[in-house]
Every structure is written in structure tokens, then in C-alpha cells.
Structure 1
Amino acid sequence: MAQLLLQFPSFLASLAIVAVLAQLLFPGMGWLAGLIWLASGAMTFHRPTERALARHLLNLRHPSPRELSRLEPLWRAVTARTGVEGRAYELWIEDSDHLNALAAAGHIVGVTRFSLEHLSDGQLAAVLAHELGHHVRGHAWSSLLGQWYAVPGRLVWAGVRKLIRLVTFIGRGRMGFWAAVLLLVTGIAVLLVALEYWFVILTLATAPYLLAAVTRRAEVRADHHAAAAGFGPMLAEVLHMMQAADQESGLVKDSALSGCGETAAMGTRTPTRARTEGFLGKLLSTHPDYHTRLHHLAPYLKQR
């Protein structure tokens, strides 16, 4: 719920964009376009839509009979321990050579081929329990809705950035004077809007940092969900494996097992990327470091 609240400003901005564009294209129909766009959020929980997103945007596939014979017994054991109806979710595979997993949309749980081939039964069950925790605690669907409703705003922002690059590029040519005038007028317009709606700008500027903090907390809670079901030691083993792999490669793998965040499409997956340096980079990180996660798992390990 906190994720949705923090994404509310971007949602309002996107709603205004949809309404204004519809009003320009179809006068008098702006309110109807806004209602249709709001209702479109329900499509993200439509099973065929979820499968299309998983297949085409997350690059997932259905498991082979052999893979399913390995996953299904573990999944039944995990859901039985947590008291969750396992048939409500679908198991998918990502053809990746990284240790990873993800909880996507409303009912998708995916693991990489590498995880399936290299983790023991207990470790793989711990990974599945972590991803189930994201679903049970609402992290997956809230992230999905937040990203879905932010799409118009992101598209417009991307268009503005491209326009600025175009003006800058033109400014290097023969039309430098007129490009400078256009850039100056655009800058003044943006400044006036920012001064008029400073509270909106401030909210949009601070929301990513607050959202990243909430997302990091969601990862710890998903870990707790797995540990409370008895998978704490196995989950700690997986985290140690991921930490060792990162130290060897010199990269930080912001894995989907590590939670929800900047997804390639919808869901709780973040692709591998280079280490982000600096204080602001740490504040924007959507995943706790391994030391933090292992620290929160320590009580469950002591109980054992």
C-alpha cells in the first residue's frame, strides 16, 4: 500500500496527461479517456494479459515437463507450509545464466534456468518462498499497478528529453540562434510551471527516494516470510552464493530474488547492472545489501 501512495503523484500526472491529450484529439471526451485509462488497470490482473506480459516483456517461458517435475513438488511444499493456495500462481522459467528469481504481475512466479540447475531442493524452495512472500504481502501487484499508471508520464518525460536533445543538436548547426531562442523559451516555460506547481515538482522529485526505501523494506519482509516458514538457513545460503558471485564479478546483481523495483516490464525484477556509486545512488537502490539481509535473517538462524 505504501508503494501505491508514493506513486500517487505520478499517477495524477499521468491522468492529467491522458485527459489533456484526449481533450485535444477528441474535444469533450477527456473525462471518458481518463475513466477508460483508470479501468485499464484491471487488465493487469487478467490472466491472459499476465501471460502475455510474462512472455513478451519479461522473456519468460513455460517450464518443460522435466523442469516442472522439479518445481511442482517444491512449490507444493512451500505453499503447504505457508497455508497458501499454490494453484493460484503459475511457475515460469527465464533462460538466464544468473542466479535469479522474480514475482511478477498478480500470479507469476519465475526462476532462472541457472537457479533450477544449480540450487539444491532446499535452496530452490527458499527462493520460491521469498517470491511467494512478495505476492502474499502485495508487493507484486502494487508495483505492477504503480508502473502501469506511470506509463503516460514516463512517455511524456522521455519525449521531453528527446526534444531537448534535438534542440541541443540543432543548436550546434547553422540554426544555432533560433535553437537557442527555442531552448530559452522552453526553459522559461518549464521554470514558470515549476514555480506555480512547486509542491508537485517537489513530490515527484522526492518520491523515487521514498519509494526505493519502501522497496528495500519489502525485500526484508519477503525474506521474513520465507524464514518464518522454515527456509531461513537455505535462504541465507543463497544470499551467500549471490554475494560471492558479485565479489568475483565486481558487479552488483540487483536480482529479482532481491525484490521488486525497476522492472523491464511489470513485476518485481531488476536486471543486473554495474555498481552505483555515491550517496544518492545508495538512496535510490531498490535492494538492501547482502549484509543487511543476512543481519535480519540472523534471529531465524539462531532459533534453528
Structure 2
Amino acid sequence: MNQPTQWPEEPDPPQYPTEPAYPQAEQPSVPPQYYPTPPPYPHAEPYPAAPPYPQAEQPLAAPQYPAPPQYPAAPPQYPAPPQYPQAEPLLPPPAYPVQSPFQPPDAPSAPAVPPPAAPPDQSLETDKLAFSTGRIHMAAHQRGADRTAIGVLLLRIPNFVCSLIVVYVLAGFLPTFLTYVVLIAWLASGALVFHRPTERFFARYLLNLRYPTRQELDWLNPIWREVTTRAGIEGSTYDLWIEDSADLNAYAAAGHIVGVTHYSMTTLPPAELAGVLAHELGHHTGGHAWSGLLGLWYSLPGRFAWQALRKVTYFAVLLAQSFFCLGAAVIIIAAAIVISAAVTFWPLLLVLLAPYLLAAVGRRAELRADLKAAELGFAQVMIQVLTKMHGEELEAQRQVGAKAMQQPSLASKLLSSHPDYHTRLRQLEAFLPQTS
């Protein structure tokens, strides 16, 4: 038999080296053994106790007032108050005579025929002035500008524009800086209307006025004080001036001037003189005096330029009369210049109409001043004064001749600055007491 094949024995598997001994992980540290309770901390030292503050004083108890007395049911009978003496008047009326202490100048002779006027009320005494003796009440507004004053300023605008052009043309010859200085100075010069030193210069050298003497002031001051007292106006605001004239007249000018003629002061009784001064005060309180002077001042350069132009034209016409053709040419050229200027600058036409409009506004201002005097209680005395003035005018016309007795022309009526006598008379008669 065949023997089985003997296979060699398999060799033993190789012996692999054992794994290296890795270091063992460190054992976790044992947590420390904490105290079961936190250790006791030392206590903070106690703060000292607050000092005892004094207790607030207890409020005093309200005093026990006695019970009110029992008044009798019926009021007691008091004796009548004593009669106190009356207070002395603030402005005791001086005992003025009917006629002033001055010797009047030679007055014009009385008219042969009395002027046509309403007979005065004989029950009213126009030669004695009743002075106020009560309390003085001052007006809230001492002065203002009524419609007539504003109208004068508006009507002077064309003249102002012409004057501004004239001043600008004349100042144009100066350096530019001086040109504007001259214009600003001319525009600011209107404030001199209210400048007292300038007013005194204006009154003395342009209006030919003078300061009153002490005797004249003793006569005028009480009358003027009575007028301003009735109006509630501070009388010391205005200055009284005297004009050495034989006319029956007075006027208001600038911002503080009240002028009266020597003849009016010496011939008019106190009441009539007070009426005249009240009329002038009405011009001041209404703004007529300062507005008229302000408009006139700003129109002076234009007036001077117009007068110079008229004289140059007059001499040119005289020179051209020697040559007929030359004269005709000058007239045609002048007419063309005037027409072209009127068409181009149509507002200049207002300059031609301004005198008539200003005269109409001036007549309205006179009526307003009469109204102011009548409101102060001088209606009757104003009628007396106007009657005297009207009589003197008629007498002067008779002395001139019959030609002067003719009716004035329409142009003279339109250019008159004062209304006619009968217009002023009718307005004042409305303030007289009605007679049955």
C-alpha cells in the first residue's frame, strides 16, 4: 500500500512582539475637601449711632381770640361830615382889564359901512376870558397828522422828485463818494423842522420874529395857558414869538413856533386873543405846520431850478426878438421841449397842478383849525375876530379904489390859501347856542 504522503509540518506562526506598554492615564486628582460651610468672616465694626437731634419745636397754638362783639341791629347815627374849605384853584385867573396895557399902533379907521355879517350874540361876553379852575386833564396824544397834513405831503411828492433830480445832477460833478454824501445829507435835513435851535434861527431871520419882553409874556402866558389847559396840551412845548406888524394876524410855523403880531396882542381882548391862539394850536396838533414846512423845504431845489430856467428862457426870448426867424425858432424849440417832457414824464404835469391842489388842502386846514378853536369854546370870539379882519379888508379895498372892489378872478380864488369869510362863519355858527 502506498503510504500517505507525509507533508512537512507547518511551521509555527511567527511570534509577534507584544504591544508596548503605553503609559497609563493619570488618575484624576481627588478634589480637595472643602469645608462644608464657608469660614466665618469677621463682622464689620458697627457704625456709631446717630446723635440725637433736637426735636422741632412744636408750633404755638393759635391764640384764642375773643368772640366778636355783638353790634346793634341798627347802625349808629354818625354826625354829618364837616364842611372842608374848597381847594384853591390851580390856575387862579388874574384880574386882567378889558384892554391890554400896551399902547396899540395907529389902527386903520373903522369902515364907514359895517361889513355884511351876522350880528353877534349880545348875551355872550367876548371880551372876558373865563379861566379854568379845576383839574387839568392832559390828552393822550399831544399832536398828530390829520388828513390835510398827509395830503400836503402827498402833493409835494412830484416837487420832491424834481428836487431830488436837481440835487443829484448838481452833486454829480463831485466825486462818487461825495455825491452820495450830499444826497444823504439833503434827505436827512428834513429833521431840522423839529430842531429847536434851527427853529429859532428860522423864526428870527426868516420870519422876522422876536422874543417877547417880560411884560408881553406876563400878558400872553396866562391866556396861552388857558388855551392849552382846555385842549389838554403841554403849553411849554411851544414857543411864543412876536412880530412887529400892524396886521391882525397870527400863525403857526415849524414844529414849535406860535407867532402873533404886536397889533393883535395889543388890540384884541383876552378872549379874542385866546381864540386866535387856539386856532394856531389847532394847526400844530393837526400837523399842518410841520408838514407844510417839510414839504416846502424838500421842494426848494426844484423851485430854484425852475426860477433859473424861467430867467434863462426870458433872456433867450429877449435876445431872439431882434431876429424874427431866430425868435420863432426859439419858441418852437421851447414848445417842443415842453411837450416832449410832458408826454415822456407825465407825472411832471402834477407839478403844474400842485399849486391849486395845495391851496385847496390849505383852505381845508384853516377850516379844521377853526373847528379846533370852536371845540375849545371859542366859536363866538372867532366870529368876532373874523368880522374884524373882514372889515379891515373891505376898508383897505375902499382906500385903494373902486377897481379893487371887483370880484376876484377864478384863478385867484383857486390859489387862495384861506377860505372866504362866509364859509368860515357858517362853520363856526354851528357851535353857537340855538336861539328860539
TM-score in terms of structure 2 length: 0.61
Q: What is the deviation of 1:33?
A: 2.4
CA distance in 2, matches of 1:225, 1:67: 25
Residues 170 and 176 in structure 1, CA contact (< 8 A), matched pair in contact too = no
After superposition, give the CA deviation of every residue in 1:235-259 in whole Å (9 maximum; x if it has no partner): 11000000111111118xxxxxxxx
**2:315 equivalent to 1:189:** no
Moved more, 32-41 or 237-246: 32-41
Q: What is the deviation of 1:276?
A: 8.2
1:54 to 194, 203, 225: 203
Residues 219 and 288 in structure 1, CA contact (< 8 A), matched pair in contact too = yes
**2:289 equivalent to 1:289:** no
SS at match of 2:172: helix
1:229 to 376, 390, 408: 376
Structure having the higher Rg: 2
Q: How much is the aligned-residue C-alpha RMSD, in angstroms?
A: 2.2
**2:364 equivalent to 1:217:** yes
Report what 2:259 is aligned to.
110
Q: What is the deviation of 1:28?
A: 5.9
1:132 to 277, 281, 285: 281
SS at match of 2:431: helix
Report what 2:411 is aligned to.
280
1:232-251 superposed matches below 5 A: 232-250=379-397
Moved more, 277-286 or 141-150: 277-286
> Gapped runs of 5+ residues in structure 2?
1-149, 399-403
Please state which structure has a larger fraction of its residues in helix: 1
After superposition, give the CA deviation of every residue in 1:224-282 in whole Å (9 maximum; x if it has no partner): 1111011111111000000111111118xxxxxxxxxxxxxxxxxxxxx9998321221
How many pairs were matched up?
A: 281
Moved more, 205-214 or 218-227: 205-214
Provide closer, same or farther for how the CA distance between residues 154 and 235 of structure 1 changes in structure 2, counting only shifts above 3 A. Answer: same
CA distance in 1, matches of 2:190, 2:274: 32
Moved more, 183-192 or 206-215: 183-192
After superposition, give the CA deviation of every residue in 1:45-91 in whole Å (9 maximum; x if it has no partner): 11111011111111100011111111011000100010000000000
Provide closer, same or farther for how the CA distance between residues 249 and 44 of structure 1 changes in structure 2, counting only shifts above 3 A. Answer: same
Residues 106 and 141 in structure 1, CA contact (< 8 A), matched pair in contact too = yes
Percent of pairs with identical residues: 49
Report what 1:264 is aligned to.
none
TM-score in terms of structure 1 length: 0.86
Provide closer, same or farther for how the CA distance between residues 68 and 43 of structure 1 changes in structure 2, counting only shifts above 3 A. Answer: same
CA distance in 1, matches of 2:298, 2:406: 29
> Gapped runs of 5+ residues in structure 1?
252-272
After superposition, give the CA deviation of every residue in 1:149-208 in whole Å (9 maximum; x if it has no partner): 0000100000011111111222244x776566555444433332222112x122222222
Residues 167 and 183 in structure 1, CA contact (< 8 A), matched pair in contact too = no
Report what 1:169 is aligned to.
318
Q: What is the deviation of 1:43?
A: 1.3
CA distance in 2, matches of 1:215, 1:171: 40
Residues 91 and 108 in structure 1, CA contact (< 8 A), matched pair in contact too = yes
CA distance in 2, matches of 1:276, 1:33: 48
CA distance in 2, matches of 1:181, 1:139: 46
CA distance in 2, matches of 1:224, 1:303: 18
